[in-house]
Chain A
């Protein structure tokens, strides 16, 4: 059986890729996908630790995260569609109307 550190290392790599995607990319869809990546990195870490500690609470947490992610996607995509209808673009740098 693979040691848990492998799973955690993969999870950290995935999370970092997701975080960088959120910070670097300007396309709202890509940012969204990056967020999903970060969430799933967290899921992977949960499952790995659950398996290591032989406890089900980590797995139950993952169900909650998947549910929240699903809801977030629904709301987020709806927002993106609304913004696109307004601005004909989903470039997040264009959405700076609240600049001080």
Chain B
């Protein structure tokens, strides 16, 4: 059942407006993350920052194939998923800085953005920690006949966790509307995935009878096409799917991971940047198809830059939670 997605299966039913929206969403994530990098290096952001730069086509390609009320779960590298599902940069930055105005009143931070309004069940800092949650959300959708789909984003590091296979087995047994999206950015922290991953990745899913697909994670059109198919299929009651997206983490494991040559070469990084940047390549395609010219895209970029500047300003100026917040919401 393992198939490599057909690169020609990319444009059916997608109009210019949608393409431009995808461009905007990808660029929003890129600029958001560049601001995170800046905030972190200026010591304005506490904790850790795991940047999604380079992987934008996956979050956007998948989330643009979903309904607003569909569920997603995310990871420690989760800003992209949250934004692609509709989160506001303002409330995201506020959360990243630990401010009360943030999505989680400052109590979750970068690795735990959650937002019921956009179907975001939460980013999770335990690798594969949200697999059960996403599968459970799919069980609710099926039981309550809501027509919703749940998408579980995780990196290839999660392939090492047994709970993933327990849940895929359950999802296939019960034909649950859940899509497991594996973002293989090639590095499990500081270790190449080939050192941690035996055998064929999609075959692990297809062994359960789960529909498995592989796609170029740098190609937003390809990701969107296959995600649309898988979401439609799940909504029709045809069961779960596993989508392997091959991609690359342009930056370090976290912002402080600067000297990376002990685990990957500069040459490799430069090659990915030069040949496989999802935003640059998509912009070229938009121009080649006359869907947009340089000035249209430039306008989007500058609008987003202004929005991000304002969002950062809001978050930096926002107050921290009061001391009385510390023991609120331990119990419902």
* Chain A partners chain B: no
| Chain B interface residues toward A at CB < 8 A | none
| Chain A interface residues toward B at CB < 8 A | none
